[in-house]
Amino acid sequence: MIQGIFHININVTDFERSLEFYQMLGFRVVADLGEGGSQALNAGLRIPDGRGRAALLMLGEDPHATRIDLIEWKNPKTAGQAYPHLYHVGMARLALKTKNLPQVYEDLKARGVEFFSEPQELSFPNQGRASFVCFTDPDGTILELIDF
């Protein structure tokens, strides 16, 4: 039986740059997986002769929180580009629950994060209101901050 989401993999082109970016957002390393690969990973991920640099990152202290599996593939090299928009098939963005969105927005903007827009407000029938804003990581992966 499926119980929840353990991690979301984000492939990057420069591990150290991306690690610094996600740490700026408040993520911490909970498992530094180092650089390497294995027959099991090759088979399970269907990556021929795979080798990468990876770490599991997490927000907060909940031991059951969803993690980010940040990976720079060394062999084969991380390839391609992130989707340039949100209307493609498949996973589109990662939404991060936030408190005090206006302050977080201003803090990140001051640190050089470029946002798609100012924070926007939505109303959900029988659910209340939420504010959100989107931006990208250094490789173009779309992230969202949302405050309910």
Give yes or no for a contact between 102 and 42, defined as CB atoms under 8 angstroms apart. no
Q: Residue 124: what pLDDT?
A: 83
Short-list 138, 18, 13, 142, CA closest to 78: 13
Q: How many CB atoms lie within 10 A of CB 3?
A: 6
Mean per-residue pLDDT of the chain: 95
pLDDT at 49 over 90: yes
For 57-66, the pLDDT digits (tens) are: 999 999 999 9
Q: Which CATH class is domain 94-147?
A: alpha beta
pTM above 0.85, yes or no: yes
Domain map (residue ranges) of the chain: 7-75, 94-147
Ranges 30-34, 79-83, 85-89, most confident: 30-34
Start-end of H helices in the chain: 15-24, 39-45, 101-110
